[in-house]
């Protein structure tokens, strides 16, 4: 296999057991439509974390967790002085999430640990599997919060103080499920980081590629927007005298769409969360809260999109008598991954004969922040129709197995080449 036998030998993952793990973990937070609702730091999250510990310990790993609840399953290497080669992703989901987003990366890493354990294959470095806390950001914004603390992008204090829409503090929720560890988040040496993930886009499937060699991640910014008008009686308030916050919001949503289309094909803009108050059928809305998500591979384009959106908001405010505030809550610049790790993934895909192509991620991942502190890259596999953040999210068992095999070979490659 392309001269890779000296590194990987005949060690491969057990695809059947990997698929069984996917189906088993889907029970934690299962929805009637076949998806998963497993918001971070909920009871369902605690259940899957407990499962993670039991399963990894059965493979001879030692499992710890840090002060942000990030879990580390460690398989010892022959040289304890070396930092670990790591794999990871997340087990939390969107409110209407699927069985594969993030989960494939954790369970694919588990399949690697199982393959090493059952084959007796030794590595120089320890090999670790990481389950990151709150990657999705659907309960506590922003996304990738705990890997961001690990990488020094956020302070632990500000992360622990985050609240969900019900006012629950991150720290209280973390303590509540029993996963606030003693090790300070970030005080954990790492030699390299690999993350397996579904593409969350249609390119690999359309081009019949099994593996995406991820070279980087596009930039993204999140905003929280509050539009304040004036409550009024739906029957007694003349149209000309209204300050309708929802109508103003509709204009801003249209502006997000138009701005993204103007900067296409690379740019995207999304309004995904909206709260209308007082949300009564016979009251003119007096306040609206909504989110805006802007992305592009070029950070300069995102800056221009933000400027255009702020200009549109100022115009709507002036014309409609509304007060509009825009708060930037997350700024994740575009990332380029490590060439050595990228080459390891390329060699691994080639060793199996999997059709592969280079690709840039349109979604954010924990690997974005890890790239700032250690050599990092990602491995993509196709997902049906490019659908993700959806209960219908789907991937083929053979592709999942292929991704885990590439992850295994890339980790072994890095173990041979890195100090």
Q: Are 332 and 137 in contact (CB under 8 A)?
A: no
Instruction: Tell me what pLDDT residue 2 has.
Output: 38
> Each residue's pLDDT tens digit in the chain (419 positions)?
334 455 656 899 999 999 999 999 999 999 999 999 999 999 999 999 999 999 999 999 999 999 999 999 999 999 999 999 999 999 999 999 999 999 999 999 999 999 999 999 999 999 999 999 999 999 999 999 999 999 999 999 999 999 999 999 999 999 999 999 999 999 999 999 999 999 999 999 999 999 999 999 999 999 999 999 999 999 999 999 999 999 999 999 999 999 999 998 989 999 999 999 999 999 999 999 999 999 999 999 999 999 999 999 999 999 999 999 999 999 989 999 999 999 999 999 999 999 999 999 988 999 999 999 999 999 999 999 999 999 999 999 999 999 999 999 999 999 999 98
- Say whether 136 counts as a known binding-site residue: yes
CA distance 375 to 341: 7
> 405 is written with which tokens?
């095999």
Give residue 6's pLDDT: 54
Question: Residue 51: what pLDDT?
Answer: 98
Question: For residues 352 and 215, what is the distance between their CA atoms, to the nearest angstrom?
Answer: 20
Listed in sequence order, the residues at least 6 apart from 415 whose beta carbon sits closer than 8 Å to its beta carbon are 77, 85, 123, 124, 125, 127
What are the φ/ψ torsions at residue 219 (nearest 5 degrees)?
A: -75, 155
Report yes or no: 185 and 150 within 8 Å, Cβ to Cβ: yes
Q: Do residues 218 and 334 touch, judged by C-beta distance below 8 A?
A: yes
Q: Are 407 and 354 in contact (CB under 8 A)?
A: no
- pTM, two decimals, is 0.85
Task: Say what the pLDDT of residue 147 is.
Answer: 98
Distance CA 240, CA 18 (A): 62
Given this model, what pLDDT does residue 55 score? 98
The CATH code for residues 5-218+334-417 is 3.40.630.10
Task: List the CATH code of the domain at 219-332.
Answer: 3.30.70.360
66 annotated ligand binder? no
pLDDT for residue 3: 40
**Is 389 assigned a ligand-binding role in the annotation?**
yes
Q: What is the CA radius of gyration of the chain?
A: 23
Q: State the pLDDT at residue 8.
A: 57
Strands (E), 35-84: 62-65, 71-75
Give domain limits for the chain.
5-218+334-417, 219-332
Alpha helices in 126-267 (DSSP H): 145-150, 156-160, 170-176, 203-207, 245-262
Torsion angle defined by CA atoms of residues 183, 184, 187 and 192, in that order, rounded to the nearest 10 degrees: 80
Strands 232-233 and 323-332 come out as unpaired
Residue 117 assigned to a binding site? no
Tokens of residue 164, six digits: 């969900």
């Amino acid at each position: 296999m392309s001269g890779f036998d000296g590194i990987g030998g005949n060690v491969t993952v057990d695809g059947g057991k990997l698929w069984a793990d996917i189906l088993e973990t889907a029970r934690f937070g299962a929805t009637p439509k076949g998806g998963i609702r497993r918001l971070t730091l909920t009871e369902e999250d605690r259940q899957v974390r407990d499962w993670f510990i039991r399963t990894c310990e059965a493979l001879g790993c030692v499992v710890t967790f840090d002060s942000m609840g990030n879990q580390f399953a460690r398989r010892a290497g022959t040289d304890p002085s070396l930092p670990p080669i790591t794999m990871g992703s997340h087990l939390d989901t969107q409110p209407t999430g699927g069985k594969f987003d993030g989960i494939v990366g954790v369970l694919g890493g588990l399949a690697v640990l199982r393959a090493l354990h059952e084959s007796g294959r030794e590595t120089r470095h320890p090999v670790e599997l990481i389950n990151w806390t709150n990657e999705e950001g659907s309960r506590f914004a922003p996304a990738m919060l705990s890997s961001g603390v690990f990488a020094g992008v956020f302070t632990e204090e500000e992360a622990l103080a985050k609240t969900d829409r019900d006012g629950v503090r991150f720290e209280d929720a973390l303590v509540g499920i029993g996963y606030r560890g003693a090790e300070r988040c970030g005080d954990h040496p790492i030699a390299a980081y690999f993350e397996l993930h579904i593409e969350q886009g249609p390119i690999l499937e359309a081009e019949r590629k099994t593996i995406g060699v991820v070279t980087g991640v596009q930039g993204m910014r999140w905003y929280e927007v509050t539009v304040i008008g004036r409550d009024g009686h739906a029957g007694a308030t003349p149209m000309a005298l209204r300050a309708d916050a929802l109508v103003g919001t509709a204009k801003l949503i249209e502006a997000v769409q138009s701005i993204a289309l103007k900067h296409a094909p690379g740019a995207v803009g999304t309004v995904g969360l909206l709260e209308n108050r007082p949300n009564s059928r016979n009251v003119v809305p007096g306040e609206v809260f909504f989110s805006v998500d802007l992305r592009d591979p070029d950070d300069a384009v995102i800056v221009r999109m933000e400027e255009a959106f702020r200009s549109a908001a100022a115009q709507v405010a002036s014309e409609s008598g509304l007060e509009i505030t825009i708060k930037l809550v997350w700024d994740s610049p575009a990332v380029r991954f490590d060439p050595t790790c990228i080459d390891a993934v390329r060699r691994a895909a080639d060793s199996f004969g999997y059709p592969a192509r280079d690709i840039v991620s349109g979604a954010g991942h924990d690997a974005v922040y890890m790239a700032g502190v250690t050599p990092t890259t990602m491995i993509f596999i196709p997902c049906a129709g490019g659908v993700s953040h959806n209960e219908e999210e789907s991937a083929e068992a053979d592709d999942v197995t292929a991704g885990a095999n590439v992850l295994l070979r890339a980790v072994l490659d890095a173990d041979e080449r890195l100090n």
